[in-house]
Amino acid sequence: MAERRFPSPFEVEGPAGSEGWEELYTYSLPFSEDRRSYEESVFWFQDGIHWPDPLTPWDATWYEYAIASLSQYNTRHYLIPPALGIDYRVLYGYAYLTPVPVTDPAEIEARVPQFMERAGFYFMNWNDLYDRWVTKIKDLIAEMEAITFEPLPEKEEMEVITEGRGMGSGLKIQEDYRRLLNLALKLWQYHFEFLNLGYAAYLDFFGFCKEAFPNIPDLAIAKMVAGVEVDLFRPDEELKKLAEKAVELGVEDAFDAPSAGDVFARLEGTPWMDAWNEAKYPWFNFSTGGGFYHQDKIWIDHPEIPLGYIKNYIAKIKAGEDIHRPLEQLRAERDRVVAEYEALLATDEDREAFRQKLGLARTVFPYVENHNFYVEHWSHSVVFRKMRELGNVFVKEGFLESTDDVFYIKRDEINEALWDMYSAWAVGTSPRGTEYWPREIARRKRILDACKQWNAPPALGEPPEVVTEPFTIMLWGITSDSINMWLGAGDGDGGGDLNGFAASPGVAEGPARVILSPDQIGDLQPGEILVAPITAPSWAPVFGKISAAVTDIGGMMSHAAIVCREYGLPAVTGTAFATTTIEDGTRIRVDGSTGTVTILD
């Protein structure tokens, strides 16, 4: 039998027309001959949860900031004993990650007391530190909001002279951009301040339950720690409130207007409009995707999206349905589940340990669940808005044909483009950028279009013995099972079943609808089963319509799994092949309790 391993990143064939793709990224991001022997000797998995599509040059900023920030906390802050960071690369535009273990047992040993001291401090002071975190994030967002990008003026304002400032708009725009980037990196430092530790605590409780009850469903454990009121669900709650308000005020008909602008025109000056304006900031800074791609629409910038959901909720209210999540019931159910498993434990010591571990998991969980809204949704929305402001400046200068072309420039190149623009403005001649950038961006678009056609392999390199990095296990769901599944993919056993994580209980049968982009979710018909690479939290409002969800990627703690559980939607995540195996309209059966998907037709 052939040795079971994945293709080398250096041997895998890329799509035609993708030549030159390496130039779209920071020089250290693509696989390269310079680090070939290392890169070929480790295991890489494609991060389909966050970056399922090829990365545009500026969007890769989030990728690099996120993974490096995650890593530093393992490696340099908390010193997670068996794990360093997660190394990251790009191949034909796609993100590939590898967890970096600590291999020397003596070093692992040496890290233990330091981890205990550092992580211990955070666990002991968690609530205080978290409260401070919320303030820090909000302050950071306010700083970002304060940045504006405007076209360079024909002449400097008189105040520049009379106040004796001694500097000009060209300096300011460059400083502002660099500050935006620094704030973006700081944002991601904040993002991981607690997350790694939160996952470690969760993993500990999880491991305890699995040892006490080898057959306990993963979702039972998730149920015991899950929060009932979570900021991530707040945007949907606000939609529901606005739907109720519309019915209360008798203005439902306004939602039949053909466009968002028309709807607003009809509701101008009404108390409903006030309620909308209250709710939208910050809660509609909500991406239809994961928040990492500039092309993911954000509710506040595309109000037709939330308005559409509100219209659906209005219809439900008028049909007599209860649209609210039964919070009391959810709490009571969670308490019952905890009490019963606790009672099934063998000894008093076990019960004590269970309570302690659960207690810590509950302490960390609000952060684990909430941070996603503050960072990937709210903060990212602000940054994308600011980048578009900058894009508009470049459009006015003739550097770009359209605003979003700004995302085809690498983050450091923007500094050069700004320099070119400023310098020409300072000198009073033409910048080179008006010729250079349109041509270069057109080339980059062609390259990325080619990359979009590529079937990115789920994994590369040497499969690992064990995985110890907590994120890799809990969030990405990379376990021996998933690795085995990928290894077996080439075997083509062609059975009618897909296997994945039993992410959210229940069984449903129905026609599949394969969704490859957030723009398609409007196509979903009632009773259909959503099949997607991954789902986004902001899709929650359609979960009342569909009967189940199936994803290619995602572990028990992925946001898709969390949201499906909250909304009571049967779900199987991490199947690896759902979107490439199931066709639109095929009848499938989803068993979210056992983690199986059966193709019925």
Partner 1 sequence: MREFVLWFDQYRESDKPRVGGKCASLGELIAAELPVPPGFAVTVEAYDTLRDDTELRSNVRKALAEVDLDDPDSLEHTSRYVRDLIEASPMNPEVERAVKASYRELCVACGVEDVPVAVRSSATAEDLPDASFAGQQDTFLWVRGEDAVARAVQRCWSSLFTARAISYRHETGHDHEIISMAVAVQKMVHPKAAGVAFTLNPTDGDRSQIAIDSSWGFGEAVVSGEVTPDNFLVDKVLFEITRRTISPKAIEYVLDGSDSVEKAPVPDDRRLAPSLTDHEIVAVAKMAKRAERHYGRPQDIEWALDRDLPEGDNVVLLQSRPETVWSRKAPRPVARPGQGLLDGIVSTLLSPVHTRDRLATTEGSDM
Q: Which residues bind to partner 1, rule: CB under 8 A?
A: 1, 3-5, 80-83, 108, 112, 115-116, 119-120, 123, 200-201, 203-204, 206-208, 210-217, 219-220, 223, 336-337, 340-341, 344-347, 349-350, 352-354, 356-357, 360, 463-468, 470, 473-474, 479-481, 483-484, 487, 502, 505, 507, 593-594
Residue 503: CB minimum distance to partner 1, A: 12
Q: Is the peptide bond before 282 cis (omega within 30 degrees of 0)?
A: yes
Between CA 500 and CA 534 the distance in angstroms is 13
Cβ atoms of 391 and 369 closer than 8 Å: no
Q: Which of 544, 552, 534 is nearest to 498 (CA)?
A: 552
Residue 218: CB minimum distance to partner 1, A: 9
Contacts of 437 by beta carbon, 8 Å cutoff, 6+ apart: 394, 399, 400, 405, 409, 417
Closer residue to partner 1 in complex, CB, 207/527:
207
**Radius of gyration (Cα) for the chain, nearest Å?**
25
Residue type, 168: G
Residue 330: CB minimum distance to partner 1, A: 14
Residue 203: CB minimum distance to partner 1, A: 6
Residue 225: CB minimum distance to partner 1, A: 15
Closer residue to partner 1 in complex, CB, 223/240:
223
Between CA 330 and CA 548 the distance in angstroms is 20
Residue 566: CB minimum distance to partner 1, A: 16
Cβ atoms of 216 and 341 closer than 8 Å: yes
The DSSP bridge pattern shows strands 94-101 and 43-46 to be antiparallel
Closer residue to partner 1 in complex, CB, 104/349:
349
Between CA 284 and CA 263 the distance in angstroms is 17
Dihedral sign of CA atoms 3, 49, 540, 264 in order: negative
Residue 331: CB minimum distance to partner 1, A: 16
Residue located via tokens 């000009």: 168
Closer residue to partner 1 in complex, CB, 255/341:
341
Cβ atoms of 358 and 287 closer than 8 Å: no
Closer residue to partner 1 in complex, CB, 405/469:
469
Closer residue to partner 1 in complex, CB, 470/537:
470
Sheet holding 459-461, edge to edge: 83-91, 94-101, 43-46, 459-461
Cβ atoms of 151 and 397 closer than 8 Å: yes
Residue 505: CB minimum distance to partner 1, A: 5
Closer residue to partner 1 in complex, CB, 505/537:
505
Closer residue to partner 1 in complex, CB, 428/490:
490
Between CA 114 and CA 117 the distance in angstroms is 5
